[in-house]
Structure 1
C-alpha cells in the first residue's frame, strides 16, 4: 500500500506533525504551498478584510505551487491543515481539485488553536470525489493521527 502525507501549514504546527507522522509510517510527503505565500497580515482572522477571510468567505481558489508526481500510485492520502472557519483553508480545496481521487482512502487531519473539526469531512468530500472513504480528525500530536488513522 502506497501512502502520501500532504499538508498545508502556515505557523509550522501542521508541518511538524505531518512530517513526523510521514517519517514514522514511511510515507511520501508533499507540502501544499500557495503560489502567493501568506503573510502575517493575510492570516489575521480579526480583520474581516484579511486575505484568509476573503478566501474562505468567497470560496476562492488559491493556486498551488507544484504537483504530486505519480499521484495515481497512492492508495491512502492523508491531508493535514489548520482549521480555518471550521474547515480546510481554500488552498487545500484547490489542491484537491487537481487530482483523481477514485478509490483512494482520504484521511484528513487538522490542527487548531481553538475551534473544533466541524463538518470538515463533509465539506472536503466534494473536492475528493470518487474517494473510497473520507474522514477528518482534529489532532494535537502524531500519536493521535496514528490512533485515529487506524479507525478511519
Structure 2
C-alpha cells in the first residue's frame, strides 16, 4: 500500500511523531509549511484565532499529490480545539483527492475528538485509524504509535 504522511508542526512536536511513523511505516512524507506566519508568541495567538475562525492560509507548494497514494495519513497539532490552519488549508485544497485516510493529532489536553472528526468530514472519508497524543502521552508515545500503526497495517 503506497502511503503518504502529511503533517504540519509549529513546534516540532507533531513533526517528531510524524517522522517516527514515517520511519516505521517506510512511507513518503510531506511537511506543510507556511513561512514564518505562525512563529513566536504573536504567531501562536494568530494561529489560534485563524483556526477557531476556520480561516485558510497560503501554504507553500506541495511536492506530492495525494491522489497518487492508496493511503494518506494526516498529522496536525490542535489549535483552539481544532486542526492547525495549515492542515485545514491543505485539506480544503487536496482533501477530495484522498482515497483512504488515517489521522493523528497532538494536543495540550483537549480538542482532539473535534479535530479528528473534522478531518474526516472535510475529506469525506472514514479513517482506517486515528490517534491523539496529549501533552502527557507525547513524552512516551510508543504504545499509542504502535497501536495506530497496527490498525493501519492490519487494514
Place the TM-score, normalised by the shorter chain, in its bin. Answer: 0.7 to 0.9
Where in structure 2 are the equivalents of 1:70-81 lying within 5 Å?
Answer: 70-81=65-76
- Which residue of 2 is the match for residue 47 of structure 1? none
Partners of 2:82 and 2:111 within 8 A in 1: no
Partners of 1:75 and 1:105 within 8 A in 2: yes
Q: Does 1:55 align with 2:47?
A: no
- Normalized per residue, the structure richer in helix is 2
Distance 1:20 1:98 in 2: 26
Equivalent residue in structure 2 for 1:136, among 130, 145, 148: 130
TM-score, normalised to structure 2's length?
0.80
Distance 2:63 2:91 in 1: 11
Distance 1:24 1:60 in 2: 33
How many residue pairs are counted as aligned between the two chains? 145
Q: CA RMSD in A?
A: 2.2
Where in structure 2 are the equivalents of 1:1-152 lying within 5 Å?
Answer: 1-44=1-44, 50-99=45-94, 101=96, 104-129=99-124, 131=125, 133-134=126-127, 136-139=130-133, 140=138, 141-151=141-151
The range that moved more, 16-25 or 61-70, is 61-70
Quote how far apart the aligned CAs of 1:116 are: 4.8
TM-score, normalised to structure 1's length?
0.81
**CA shift digits 1:99-129 (9 cap, x unpaired):** 2535622111111222251222322233213
